[in-house]
Structure 1
Amino acid sequence: MKQIQGSFLTGYVTILIEGNNPELFLQHCVDHEILVWDIKKASHTSCKGKIKLQDLSEVEALLNDDIYTITVTHEKGLPLIVKKLIGRKELLFSIGICLLLVLYLSNIIWDIKINGVPKDIEKKITKQLNSYGIHTGALGFSIDSPSSIQQRLLHDIPELLWVGIEKKGTTFQIEVVEKTIVKKKEVKGPSNLIATKKGVVSYIYISKGMPKVKVNDYVEPGDVLVSGNISEDKEDPILVEAEGEIIARTWYEVSVTVPLEAEFQELTGEKDKKLYIELGDLQVPFWGFGSSEFEHVQADINRTPIHFFKWELPINIVESINHEKTYRKEKRSKDDAIEIGIEQAKNELLLRLDKNATIISEKVLQESTGNGKVKLTLYLTVEENIVKSVPINQGD
């Protein structure tokens, strides 16, 4: 019956009705919309049945003392259990302490597993984690979020290429990929070195092969700079794998736009912290009350789930850190904007070139001012290695 579903949560009692024709009293209860179930005949003059705890006073009000008597024989349900527990404060206190202790122990880091690296790197990671306060026995609420820890490890340990962190219950699983030096695929067999860009040769260093250009020679992409044929005898060539560097002056045209008024965001170093217990959409603060005093803030929010043994509860400890932020506007002169634009253009170009490339000169080709901005077109001269190894095909 749907009517008796959840009766344990609201509580129910078993009553014994004694008197002549007790069934008539039960019918009287039903007529007053009092739910009675599991009715049993106890004797000729008595019946048993179950009613909701909340209906007991109404049933007693229907009694006629000269005809029927009611005795409560059993009581069951959550309200009755709670009532008994409240009466036993020592037991209730002990249960509360046990639950808090279990929650505390369930949110302590008991193990840290680091996979994917040799022992020496593992020791470095362990030492770095200790400096962050992450170690066996640390409370999970007191540590940074996994993404923040990943970024700090990558910054502090140059040998790491990638870090993945996952918190599984009371265990920290850390997967690590170590950086490896990937060597360029070498061309096997006889080969020439050719130019990849147009430029003027400024430096030549050859360890193998026959040079085909001299300093100050102008070259185009595809020109042979160093030949793998080191024999002058065309009929009986001696072929090797050409090796060396040809540094040449190359040229690039770069355009940049620089505003004459710049706006900067700066963190003052001041911050405040708030802690919440989050349950669904409900957030209950327990540290740091009231609104932030800062006019502008940059908020960092970290959520740490609460665990009960291996299960993750739908409760989070939320840490909200508000960093005070200020805005500053700065007007630039035209000369300052040009200087900034030149540096910006150089940095953008170097990001596209080999790490050993250097910019040796710059020249402003075009300059215009409008709408609060300076637009520049620059001509940059670069010194860089322009060789590329290609195999010598039959007939070369």
Structure 2
Amino acid sequence: MKQIQGSFLTGYVTILVEGNNPELFLQYCADQEILVWNITKVSSTSCEASIRLGDVHQVDELIHEGLTITVTHQYGLPVMIKKLIGRKEFLFSIGICLLLILYLSNIIWDIKINGVPKDIEKKITKQLNTYGVHTGALGFSIGSPSEIQQKLLHDIPELLWVGVEKKGTTFQIEVVEKTIVEKKEINGPSNLVAAKEGVVSYVYISKGMPNVKVNDYVEAGDLLVSGNISEDKEKPVLVEADGEVVAKTWYEVSVTIPLKAEYQELTGEKEKKLYMELGDVQVPFWGFGSSEFEHVQTDINRTPLHFFKWELPINIIESIQHEKTYRKEQRSKKEAIKVGKEQAKNELLLRLDKNAKVISEKVLHESTGNGKVKLILYLTIEENIAKSVPINQGD
């Protein structure tokens, strides 16, 4: 019967009806839309039947004189729960077991590092320990995989790429190690020519014949060092020219500096809060109350809980609030010019060889307006201008 489907979830009982014409009473209950099933004639004055647990009170109200009703058996989930509630020790044991399983399901039991030799693997393992990532650590107490990935790339220069993935209770780390790419050799002899115009400051040649000297002015493409080391034009001896030709070069750069500057700085103070998230509901269990900081920068890490290999719809949210301060600075024109010069030099040096350095600076143009100072600077740089080009032996 469809009417009794799900009766286990709602609960039902077996009743014994005793008295005159118990069948008529059960029929009367059915007429009152009380579901009755499994009716059994026990004797001429008693019948047994099943009714829903929620209908027991209504049946008691329908009883009339000369009849008695006795509940002989109770079935279903509500009955089981009621019995369990009465056995507090059993419930406590189940709760402890579930919490223990939940705890063990969210512990890191293994860390697998693939793709690197043993010495790099040891270095990665040591670095992971400093982040709190080790066997036995709680999964939600450490950073997210992407955060760990960025830290490893920053702290271990030997790594080219890192992939971090958390699979259940295992951290799997795939690593690609940097390979040292040796400078590609030019096939055959070569010359050194000027990459840009400049005035030669000094010449250091390890192989080849110099074609310029100190204080010579050269333009882009001029021959600096020849790969032909023979004085006999008919029998040239060709080598790969090697060395440095450092020259003074010139750049014109422009920069704009505001007279009013506003900075955001982290003080280093922070507060940590932990939440349990279920759907749209977040329940705090560590770090209650509002932040004491006036301005904060918040970092959020969300870690799902696992039960064995299954991911639960429950997340542990770690909220780290960093104290942030704002600082306003009113610069004078002189201070703005000083800041602008340093900014222009630093931006230019980032585009040049690492050994390049600024020799002198000159302000070509200076203007002030709309709370800003605009500068056009003429910078003299000392840098290596030599570049290698192959010798065409057919010429």
Once the two structures are superposed, what CA deviation does each residue of 1:211-238 show, in whole Å capped at 9, x if it has no partner? 3333323223233322333334444433
Q: What is the correspondence of 1:215-226 to structure 2 with a 5 Å cutoff? A: 215-226=214-225
Given the alignment of the two structures, is residue 380 of structure 1 paired with residue 379 of structure 2, yes or no? yes
Deviations 1:158-200 (A, max 9, x none): 3333333222222222233333332232211222222222222
Alignment partners' CA distance in 2, 1:223 and 1:61: 114
Relative to structure 1, the CA distance from residue 25 to residue 199 in structure 2 (aligned partners, 3 Å threshold; closer, same or farther) is farther
Separation (CA, whole Å) in 2 of partners of 1:336 and 1:279: 54
Q: Is the 8 A contact 2:274 2:284 kept in 1?
A: yes
1:351 lines up with 2:350 in the alignment? yes
Q: Report if the CA contact (8 A) 2:254-2:376 is conserved.
A: yes
Aligned to 1:58: 58
Relative distance call for 1:377 and 1:356 in structure 2 (3 A) is same
- Cα distance change of structure 1 residues 356 and 13 upon mapping to structure 2, 3 Å threshold: farther
Decide whether aligned partners of structure 1 residues 92 and 229 sit closer, same or farther in structure 2, where only a CA change above 3 A counts.
same
Q: 5 Å matches for 1:31-46?
A: 31-35=31-35
**1:1-396 matches, cutoff 5 A:** 6-13=6-13, 22=23, 28-35=28-35, 51-63=51-63, 66=66, 75-396=74-395
Alignment partners' CA distance in 2, 1:51 and 1:357: 94
What CA distance in whole angstroms lies between the structure 1 residues aligned with 2:49 and 2:388? 97
Secondary structure of residue in 2 paired with 1:293: coil
Deviation of 1:375 (Å): 0.8
Q: Residue 91 and residue 192 in structure 1: after superposition, are their counterparts in 2 closer, same or farther (change >3 A)? A: same
Read off the aligned partner of 1:197 and give its amino acid letter. K
Which amino acid is the alignment partner of residue 292 of structure 1?
S
Amino acid at match of 1:354: D
Aligned-pair CA distance for 1:42: 6.6
- Decide whether aligned partners of structure 1 residues 335 and 71 sit closer, same or farther in structure 2, where only a CA change above 3 A counts: same
What's the offset of the Cα at 1:344? 0.6
Separation of aligned partners in 1, 2:48 and 2:22: 13
2:11–2:79 contact (8 Å) kept in structure 1: yes
| Structure 1 position 44, deviation (Å) | 10
Q: By how many angstroms is 1:70 displaced?
A: 5.9
Distance apart, 1:386 and its partner CA: 2.0
Q: Structure 1: how far apart are the matches of 2:15 and 2:78?
A: 18
1:142 partner letter: S
| Superposed displacement of residue 362, structure 1 | 1.4
The two structures, once aligned, show a CA RMSD in angstroms of 2.9
Query: Within 2, Cα distance between the matches of 1:238 and 1:3?
Result: 106
Contact 2:22 2:47 in 1 (8 A): no
Work out the CA distance in 2 between the residues paired with 1:143 and 1:50.
Answer: 56
**Equivalent-residue separation in structure 2 for 1:53 and 1:31 (angstroms):** 18
Residue 268 of structure 1, CA deviation? 2.9
**AA paired with 1:91?**
F
On the 8 A contact 2:39/2:50 being kept in 1, the answer is: no
CA drift at 1:9? 3.3
Give the aligned length: 393
C-alpha distance in structure 1 between counterparts of 2:253 and 2:237, whole Å: 44
Secondary structure of the equivalent of 1:185? Answer: coil
Structure 2, gaps ≥5 residues long: none
Cα distance, 1:96 vs. partner? 0.7
**1:363–1:7: structure 2 CA closer, same or farther, 3 Å change rule?**
farther
Equivalents in 1 of 2:182, 2:392: separation in Å? 24
The alignment partner of 1:86 has SS state of: helix
Quote the Cα distance in structure 2 between the aligned partners of 1:383 and 1:2. Answer: 93
Residues 369, 17 of structure 1: CA spacing in aligned structure 2 closer, same or farther, 3 A cutoff? same
Helix, strand or coil: the match of 1:356? coil
Identity of aligned residues (%): 80
Matched AA of 2:383? E
Stretch deviating more after TM superposition (329-338 or 115-124): 115-124
Q: 1:258-302, CA deviations, whole angstroms, 9 ceiling, x for partnerless residues? A: 111111222333332222111111111122222112211111222
- 1: CA distance between counterparts of 2:199 and 2:88? 92
Q: State how far apart, in whole Å, the 2-side matches of 1:236 and 1:14 are.
A: 119
Seen in structure 2, the aligned counterparts of structure 1 residues 343 and 89 have a Cα distance that, compared at 3 Å, is same
- Aligned partners of 1:136, 1:153: CA distance in 2, in Å? 18
> Is residue 160–residue 178 contact of structure 2 (8 Å, CA) maintained in 1?
yes
Aligned with 2:184: secondary structure?
coil
Structure 1 residues 66 and 381: alpha-carbon distance in aligned structure 2, compared to 1, 3 A threshold: same
Shift of 1:341: 0.7
Q: What amino acid is the match of 2:368?
A: T
Structure 1 residues 40 and 237: alpha-carbon distance in aligned structure 2, compared to 1, 3 A threshold = farther
Instruction: Indicate how the Cα distance of structure 1 residues 72 and 348 shifts in structure 2: closer, same or farther if over 3 A, else same.
Output: same
Post-superposition offset of 1:63: 4.4
Q: Which one-letter code corresponds to 1:181 in the other structure? A: I
